[in-house]
Amino acid sequence: MGANNGKQCGSEGKGSSSISSDVSSSTDHTSTKAPKNAATSEDSDLSMRTLSTPSPALILPPSSSHLPLPANGSSTSSSSITGETDQQAAPVDLLPDHVFLQIFAHLPTNQLCRCARVCRWYNLAWDPRLWRSIRLTGDLLHADRALRVLTRRLCQDTPNVCLMLETVVASGCRRLTDRGLHTVAQCCPELRRLEVAGCYNVSNEAVFDVVSRCPNLEHLDVSGCSKVTCISLTREVSLKLLPMHGQQISIRYLDMTDCFALEDEGLHTIAAHCTQLTHLYLRRCVRLTDEGLRYLVIYCPSVRELSVSDCRFVSDFGLREIAKLEGRLRYLSVAHCGRITDGLEHLAKNCPKLKSLDIGKCPLVSDAGLELLALNCFNLKRLSLKSCESVTGRGLQVVAANCFDLQLLNVQDCDVPQEALRFVKRHCRRCVIEHSNPAFF
């Protein structure tokens, strides 16, 4: 029963003095049984804390430091908080352990830590099966400290490693630094997914350490990390690997949107090490050119989704290189790449299984390129032509006559007549048309 598991809380808490130093600002060494004349809720909250449980202050905002009241509106008695047993057990205490585990499995990290501070739930809340992922949020959160304390607690049963932890999400935690990622790299060898979008204090060194120590990492999101210019193994790991291993990284999904410092040489290194890439997003990596895309196609032939939108130096030559991905390519965005013209011919002839294409704000793309695309890519489902000033109603009619499965068409700010839009609607009945023509509805 869940109530019985809490009895061991006191003994385990006393045995983890190494963690108490990290959370000394938010723990108390007093007895878990409060005096009967205790009046303030603050004293009651401090009295229930154990030394081995991370403080909620690490991952909770100050305004949410208490557990919510029960659904019936009755307040929690001081005896239940301080460990005194009521004569009649609360209904929640009658639930079996496996039910508690199912409930806890749906809680975010901060709520799970909050539950772990209730003695009768202590062992259940720290069940390793509940800690396959850690999700931290908040601009003001001390993410480095939170990761250090959480991983140290999760390493209690398996010294120095968190064998169950597979996902760490700290997107938007602007106080996260390399120190926090070094902690993850050292303690989480089974990590498969890491998201640190918007953490602009993270640099190459920490990313290298993670990909070198976590060989199973498949999903990496470093979008908005402006200091990240490359993805590679550390020098020490590279020297240890035999040439036959190829020094490969198993990442399949990589998002480097807004990594402004990424250049062709960095993309070359990424492609040479991450040959299993299938999803790559390089939006607003403004220093990339056609040469970088040539390296990508050479080393990463399995790419299915690619975005180089707002990469203003990408031209028809880069599009010709992308076309060498052939039948594997399913999604492509070259929006805001103003140097692209009717070089869509190579894309149309080599990528017949393309399903989604965004060429919005490419003013040099005309009906000629659009017709070639429609005559070869019959599987198109999503097409964006937003602000393509050279596209007319004739090009849209050719698309509608050949791409019957079209589901989304964006022609906002395009000079196309109302009749062409009606033609699209007749031939592609499931298509949603995004337009700026007030006369069409």
The answer to which of 72-76, 133-137, 249-253, 437-441 has the lowest mean pLDDT is 72-76
Q: Measure the CA dihedral 433/435/438/440, to 10°.
A: -30
pLDDT-derived band at 91, boundaries 50, 70, 90: confident
* 3-state secondary structure at position 227: coil
Please determine, for residue 97, whether its predicted confidence score (pLDDT) is greater than 90: no
Please determine, for residue 312, whether its predicted confidence score (pLDDT) is greater than 60: yes
CA 405 – CA 235 distance, rounded (Å): 49
**Mean pLDDT, residues 413-423 taken together:** 92
Dump pLDDT digits (tens) for 257-291. 999 999 999 999 999 999 999 999 999 999 999 99
CA 23 – CA 43 distance, rounded (Å): 17
Dump pLDDT digits (tens) for 28-50. 333 333 344 433 443 434 333 33
**Mean pLDDT, residues 315-322 taken together:** 95
pLDDT at residue 87, rounded to an integer: 57
Give, in order, the Cα–Cα distances in Å from 322 to each of 306, 341, 343: 9, 15, 11
Q: What is the pTM of this model?
A: 0.79
CA 84 – CA 86 distance, rounded (Å): 7
